[in-house]
Structure 1
Amino acid sequence: MTTTAMTAVTATTDERDVYDVIVAGAGPVGLFLGGELRLGGARVLVVERLAEVDETIKAGSINVPSAVALYRRGLLPELTAVWEAARERMQAFARTRSGTGTRSGTGTGTGTGTGTGTGMIRIPPKFAGHFAGMMLDPDLFDASDPAWADAGPAAEAGLGVPQAELERVLARHADRLGVEVRRGVELAGFEADDAGVTVRLVAAEGGGEAEEVRARWLVGCDGGRSTVRKTAGFDFPGTEPEITGYQALVELTGAERLGTGWNTTDTGTYAHGPFPGRILVVEFDGPPADRWAPVTAGELQAALRRVSGVPEVTVGAVRTATRFTDNARQVPDYRKGRVLLAGDAAHVHSPFGGQGLNLGLGDAMNLGWKLAAVATGRAPESLLDSYTAERHPIGAWVLDWTRAQIAVMRPDRHARALRRVVDDLARTTAGTTYLVERISGIWQRYDLPGDHPLTGASAPDLALSDGTRLGDHLHTGQALLLDLADDPALRSQAEGHPLTVLTVTCPDRPALKGLLVRPDGFVAWAAGTEGGAGLKAALGH
């Protein structure tokens, strides 16, 4: 990652001065997308108004598709180290809370794998997750679905990775790949035409001349209030918010009677832990008057006291705090001419279930190789149609998943009655397994042509005869053709295509003869017979 000082220049049509892609936003989604574009050979510029990583407390974990995607790019060791450090902090908090706290209403745990609701905290070896604050028991989970084994070591990681730490990991990844990132620079506007986009950049602190930069494509990864989305005129339909929520890291005193983990009361929901001073509070009295105003200690304290019913709890210094709502919206199409959207710029929703960051990383993984191929002239623009076709349904599911959680968190009698029913179901093996599989994202696949059951699924992390795993061969971001039957007819069809061909065997899958894996790790073609029937069509797709 090269940090470049901004200078005033004039837009030019000289090819040497034209980026293939400009990405607005250097959060996790923008940085990951920048890396994917570089792996695909694109010249990319990522611009970010913040001079440093945003330390505001946000997402705290990544799901299976995200862990698998990052594993396929060689990032699992770094992320595992971050998770181990986080676990140590959780264990330290657990020791301070043993034997204290109370349980209010239904639902236990913290959403990061801790909590019993009685003050005795257990850090389970596997994280099952929660639905609307109802903690799921990992001992009830049935992991017999082959998709869990196919996910490989990433499925075992259980990565509780704070968003700021993930951003640092992805920044280092982008640096190693040579992604150009300019911080302290804000996108002020742009004009798109049939050939590309002219982007106006200004210093985020104000002053100085505007800079015009030309690119063939522009991607907005600039969050829920996306300037790119608004300027391009994307529709953004959805449902209005009905809650005010806070998440913060603060100094707390008088917190001995606060319930540990998730707690549901007559006035709302709150969570305490799994780290010292971490609180989350939700009230169902409508959205805030000004969501973006600074969050004060007094505001947090008043909300926590109202919801918890603990009048002596006091909020001191605020380290980091944010408001959130359940505003749920999604653009109908992720592309408008030369402009595309990813992450929160394309879809917003409440944070319950920890889906937002993961949804954005999935967008980046899906879009990166496609846009790189189009921008560098290796694929037609029609390839970009598959971006919306594949990612929009998953985004729509996430919006409904978060809406469902809000529905059973409401404090009215009808919602509480429904919550008790859901809680009963969640305490069964079938209920826990269903919820965990949905939360984890293990179910996600794309509708691709072909009859083989692996087609459209995330590729299984096969243990290969040369001692490697399939994921080891995806670090470069190239498509991969596995010839598992030493089949010359199969290999001949791959000639002239930009992919890696690997002839090996897979002792665990003797019936599998060939596998074509896209750069994002999804299976474009699979066969149980030799000869490569259908491979040419998949290579063209």
Structure 2
Amino acid sequence: MSSESTTDVLVIGAGPAGLTLANYLALQGVSVRLMDRAPSPPVRLSSSVHGPGSEVMQRMGSLGNLPNETPLLTRATAHLGLQPIRLRYTTPGKENLAPPMLINQGKIEAAIREHWAELGGAVEWDCGLVDIEQDPTGVTAVLANGEQVRARWLVGCDGAESMVRKAAGIGYIGRSKRYLLVDAHIDWDLDRGGLTSWIHPDGRVGAMPMIDPDGANNLWRLLALDPDQGTEKPTDDEIVSRVRTVLAERSPYGGIEFRDTTTKLTFVSHARIVDNYREGRVLVAGDAAHPHVPFGGPAIHTGMGDAENLAWKLALVIQGKASEALLETYQGERRPIAAEIVLGKTAPSQIEKMRNPIVRFVRDRVVAPIVKIPGFEQLTTFSHSELWETYRDGPLGGGARFDAKPRPGDMVGDFECVRSADRRRTRLYDEFRGRWVLLVPAGGADPCVDVVRKRLGEEHFAVLERKASNAAGKKARAEADEVWLVRPDGHLAWRGEPQSAGLDEWLEGMLRYGRAKNK
């Protein structure tokens, strides 16, 4: 006879997205169980994470000392023909934020698991999902071990082959292709401070510096689309041979020697995205919603961004402070970002896929030099690494288009503040931990504090004041006189005058209707 247990949220999948979601829900007082079908933490391929992923960990409180323990990934070079396009992952105005890192996904997961344990949580390994049944009040998950778990909500973070997605009948569009991966010791002149790739209409080939346990400084990971997409899996020798061939065809490094090839494998990567992020009381996040090629870190930080976005909304619904309409904003804000990456709609992806010889000639001779201009280079960098991730056009963003930046929906950068409660100095990103932040002028803003307390609850927000030293210049002085409400995921919710009624109106619209504009 099967046993049955209950929880607010059941999270299936203990990768970066699932771990992030469980942590954020627990920080907001929501009961959660986190399960994974693997018997123990699996070996991971991905070996880098961009700034947005590091920032999620910083706001969560799980980043710790990782940036000082691992090489930083500060740049990337993409070759358009003979033209190198250099992208910088440290950008003006964001120097204080958590950096991109050259770090194995397994180490990221270990850091978030440790934080999860500090919150009293534990991953339940070897818990495969068999089926789900949902009704208007919740979901019953049937596990392979015979246990049945009753949850008010179920979230699938269980990867590209998501059992949750399949069981919920969520549609899935896109394509799947086989890739080749080789780790080898190579002596060449590539930059070990970042990624290098060569763009080609048949698929780019990329090289990523790797950390060698033996201390060698010449270990590299090569990744390329398999030119033979047949059904027969290549042998190890064929994998190495094909990578050599692709590298020779698309880069100036034909004939380069591969020594001590430590890893030789193929994997099928799914560039796909779901039709809907929610089906009743079942939601999906991370690779379960939008798998991506594991090169350069977008899959990791996009999944973590999903989790951080969903957690505070789900918590408000569970706490009875918001209607289920708020959950519709999860897809409204996150799907457009994933679609750009997965379906190749970003500017770099469009440039990469050009096949017409004349168009490619123009690209290499005209477009590439333009992209190298600092302003365009920064734009390309932001597009590639989601440093300009914004929800301005989403259901909770917007306001006057020409208002001062950041605008509602934009990410708010980190800076020094003072806690209103005890006058201690702090930093904005150290105060989130699943909470909202109300930034007020030095003189306070009691009416706004009262509004947020009434709508969100005393324990779910922090009141901070900007340090006086930050108020230099006309723009900064104007900001210092304003009130900002910042969401738990670091995005600006509302900004305005301390006596404005707009804050209460924004919160009312967000909580009741899942739609709100800054007025």
One fold, TM greater than 0.5? yes
Is 1:127 the counterpart of 2:75 in the alignment? Answer: yes
Cα deviations by residue, 1:409-454 (Å, 9 ceiling, x for unpaired): 6888467536524433333223312211212322111132544543
Number of residue equivalences = 465
SS of the residue 1:369 aligns to: helix
Task: State the partner residue of 2:463.
Answer: 502
Instruction: Specify whether residues 51 and 62 from structure 1 end up closer, same or farther in structure 2 by C-alpha distance, changes over 3 A only.
Output: farther
Aligned partner of 2:53 in structure 1 is 66
SS in 1 for 2:7: strand
1:439 to 384, 403, 407: 384
Instruction: Name the amino acid aligned to 1:127.
Output: R
Aligned equivalent of 2:491: 522
In the other structure, the counterpart of 2:158 is 222
Cα distance in 2 for residues equivalent to 1:264 and 1:471: 36
Q: 1:30 aligns with which of 15, 18, 27?
A: 18
**2:278 is matched with which residue: 316, 335, 357?**
335
Residue 274 in structure 1 maps to residue 261 in structure 2: no
Q: Which whole-Å CA distance do the structure 2 matches of 1:318 and 1:478 have between them?
A: 44
Decide which of 117, 123, 133 is 1:191's aligned counterpart: 133
Deviation, structure 1 residue 249: 2.8
User: Could you tell me which amino acid in structure 2 is paired with residue 245 of structure 1?
Assistant: Y
Equivalent residue runs for 1:225-374 within 5 Å:
225-238=161-174, 240-241=175-176, 244-250=178-184, 255=186, 261-263=196-198, 269-275=204-210, 276-283=218-225, 285=227, 287-289=229-231, 296-309=235-248, 313=257, 318-319=262-263, 321-325=265-269, 327-351=270-294, 353-374=296-317
Partner of 1:161: 103
For residue 284 of structure 1, report the CA deviation from its aligned partner: 6.2
Mapped to 1, the partners of 2:451 and 2:96 lie a distance apart of 32
Deviation at 1:228, TM superposition (A): 0.9
SS at match of 1:41: coil
Q: Is the 1:29–1:221 contact (alpha carbons within 8 Å) kept by the matching residues of 2?
A: yes
Contact 1:483 1:504 in 2 (8 A): yes
**Residues 78 and 198, structure 2, Cα contact 8 Å, conserved in 1:** no
Q: Would you say 1:174 and 2:116 are equivalent positions? A: yes
CA contact (8 A) 2:179 2:223 kept: yes
Report the 3-state secondary structure (helix = DSSP H, G, I; strand = E; otherwise coil) of the residue aligned with 2:416: coil
Show the counterpart of 2:436.
Answer: 479
**Equivalent of residue 66 in structure 2, options 79, 92, 96:** 79
1:109 alignment partner in structure 2: none
Give 1:459 deviation, angstroms: 2.3
Deviation at 1:372, TM superposition (A): 2.1
- SS of the counterpart of 2:339? helix
SS at match of 1:405: helix
What TM-score comes out, normalization by structure 1 length? 0.76
Alignment of 1:388-467 (within 5 A): 388-399=331-342, 400-401=344-345, 405=349, 408=352, 413=357, 416-417=360-361, 420-421=364-365, 422-446=367-391, 447=394, 448-451=397-400, 453=405, 454-465=407-418, 466-467=424-425
Which runs of 5 or more structure 1 residues have no equivalent in the other structure? 1-7, 12-16, 88-111, 113-125, 203-208
Q: Which amino acid in structure 1 is aligned with residue 506 of structure 2?
A: A
Question: Relative to structure 1, is the Cα distance of residues 269 and 479 closer, same or farther in structure 2, using a 3 angstrom cutoff?
Answer: closer
* Pick aligned residue for 1:493 from 445, 451, 455: 451
| Alpha carbons 1:349, 1:402 under 8 Å: kept | no
Unaligned 5+ segments in structure 2 are 211-217, 249-253, 419-423, 471-475, 511-519
Contact 1:82 1:161 in 2 (8 A): no
Q: Is the 8 A contact 1:248 1:319 kept in 2?
A: yes
* Distance across 2 between alignment mates of 1:282 and 1:322: 10
CA RMSD of aligned residues (A): 3.3
Counterpart AA for 2:142 = R
Does structure 2 conserve the Cα–Cα contact (< 8 Å) formed by 1:57 and 1:247?
no
Distance 1:245 1:183, change over 3 A: same
**Distance of aligned partners of 1:458 and 1:271 in 2 relative to their CA distance in 1, 3 Å threshold:** closer
- Which whole-Å CA distance do the structure 1 matches of 2:307 and 2:24 have between them? 7
Larger relative contact order (Cα-Cα within 8 Å, sequence gap ≥ 6) = 1
* Offset, 1:152: 5.7
Counterpart amino acid of 1:355? Answer: P
For residue 107 of structure 1, what is the aligned residue in structure 2? none
Tell me the residue number matched to 2:86.
Answer: 137
**Identical pairs, percent:** 29
TM-fit CA distance, 1:501: 4.5
| Superposition deviation, residue 165 in structure 1 | 1.3
1:72 Cα offset (Å): 1.5
When the two structures are superposed, what TM-score results if normalisation uses the length of structure 2? 0.79
Contact 2:200 2:353 (C-alpha < 8 Å) held by counterparts = no
Output one character per residue of 1:306-361: Cα deviation in whole Å (capped at 9) or x when no partner.
22345685675644744244x43211221000100001111133345532211111
Deviates more, 1:310-319 or 1:67-76: 310-319
CA contact (8 A) 2:13 2:36 kept: yes
Cα shift at 1:222: 0.8
